[in-house]
Chain A
Amino acid sequence: MKKAKKVFSAVLASAMALSLLAGCGAGAAKGGSDTFKIGAIGPLTGAAAAYGNAVVNGAQIAVDEINAAGGINGYQIEYKSEDDELNAEKSVNAYNTLKDWGMQILVGSTTSACSIAVSENTKNDNMFQLTPSGSAEDCVKYDNVFRVCFSDPNQGIASAQYISDHNLATKVGIIYDNSDVYSSGIYQKFAQESEGKNYEIVSAEAYTQDNNTDFSVQLQKAKDAGADLVFLPIYYSDAALILTQANTMGYAPTFFGVDGMDGILTVENFDTSLAEGLMLLTPFAADATDDLTVNFVKQYNDKFGETPNQFAADAYDAVYIIKAAIEKAGVTPDKSTSEICDAVKAAMLEIEAKGLTSQKMTWEASGEPNKEPKAVVIKGGTYVSAE
Chain B
Amino acid sequence: MSFLTYLINGLSLGSIYAIIALGYTMVYGIAKMLNFAHGDFIMVGCYIIFSVSAALSGNSVVGIIVAIVLCTVLGVTTEFVAYRPLRGAASPLAVLITAIGVSYLLENIALLIYGADIKSFTSVVNWEGLSFAGGELKIQGVTIVTIAISVVILIALQLFINKTKQGQAMLAASEDKGAAALMGINVNRTIALTFAIGSALAAVAGALLCSAYPSLSPYTGAMPGIKAFVAAVLGGIGSIPGAMIGGLVLGIVEILSKTYISSQLSDAIVFGILVIVLLVKPTGILGKQIQEKV
Contact = CB atoms under 8 A, between A and B. Distances in A.
A203 B180 CA distance: 59
A45 B218 CA distance: 13
B117 A244 contact: no
B2 A220 contact: yes
A270 B2 contact: no
B215 to A, nearest CB: 5
Interface residues of A, number: 36
Given A178-B264, A220-B6, A221-B259, A211 B135 contact: no
Contacts of B5: 220
B116 A208 contact: no
B219 interface: yes
Interface in B1-21: 2, 5-6, 9, 13
Interface in B206-231: 213-215, 217, 219-220, 223-224
A69 B217 CA distance: 41
Contacts of B9: 214, 216-217, 220
Given A217-B255, A221-B259, A244-B214, A208 B264 contact: yes
A244 B120 contact: yes
A216 B255 contact: yes
B117 A217 contact: no
Contacts of A216: 9, 255
Contact of A211 (B6, B220, B223): B223
Given A220-B2, A220-B6, A271 B120 contact: yes
B104 interface: no
A208 B224 CA distance: 14
Contacts of B258: 217-218
Interface string A232-244: 0000011011001
Nearest to A267: B120
B263 interface: yes
A366 interface: no
Contacts of B119: 267-269
Given A211-B223, A217-B255, A268-B120, A249 B215 contact: no
B214 A50 contact: no
A50 B117 contact: yes
A124 interface: no
A249 B143 CA distance: 12
Contacts of A220: 2, 5-6, 9, 259
Contacts of B177: none
B117 A205 contact: no
A133 to B, nearest CB: 17
Contacts of A221: 259
Given A217-B255, A241-B215, A205 B263 contact: yes
Residue among A45, A218, A244 with the most chain B CB within 10 A?
A244
Given A213-B224, A217-B255, A269-B50, A237 B118 contact: yes
B122 interface: yes
A179 to B, nearest CB: 8
B120 A240 contact: yes
Contacts of B13: 214
B267 A49 contact: no
A47 interface: yes
Contacts of B263: 205-207, 217-218
B283 interface: no
Nearest to A219: B9
Contacts of A208: 264, 267
B135 A237 contact: no
B188 interface: no
B216 to A, nearest CB: 9
B152 interface: no
Given A47-B217, A213-B215, A269 B264 contact: no
B121 interface: yes
B266 A48 contact: no
A224 B224 contact: no
B159 interface: no
Contacts of B166: none
Residue among A205, A211, A217 with the most chain B CB within 10 A?
A217
Residue among A207, A211, A240, A270 with the most chain B CB within 10 A?
A211
A49 B116 contact: yes
Interface string B189-200: 000000000000
Given A207-B264, A208-B264, A241-B214, A269 B116 contact: no
A290 interface: no
A327 B266 CA distance: 54
Given A50-B116, A208-B264, A217-B6, A250 B215 contact: no
Contacts of A210: 223, 267
A47 to B, nearest CB: 5
Contacts of A237: 117-118, 215, 217
A248 interface: yes
B78 interface: no
Residue among B116, B223, B224, B266 with the most chain A CB within 10 A?
B116
A42 to B, nearest CB: 13
7 contacts: A50-B115, A211-B267, A214-B254, A216-B9, A218-B258, A220-B2, A268-B117
Interface of A: 45-50, 178-179, 205-208, 210-211, 213-214, 216-218, 220-221, 224, 237-238, 240-241, 244-245, 248-250, 267-271
Interface of B: 2, 5-6, 9, 13, 50, 54, 115-122, 135, 138, 140, 213-215, 217, 219-220, 223-224, 254-255, 258-259, 262-264, 266-267
Given A267-B119, A270-B120, 20 more contacts: A47-B116, A208-B264, A210-B223, A210-B267, A211-B223, A213-B215, A213-B220, A217-B9, A217-B258, A220-B5, A220-B6, A240-B118, A244-B120, A248-B140, A250-B138, A268-B118, A269-B120, A269-B121, A269-B122, A271-B120
What 3 A-B pairs come out closest when comparing CB atoms? Answer: A270-B120, A206-B264, A213-B213
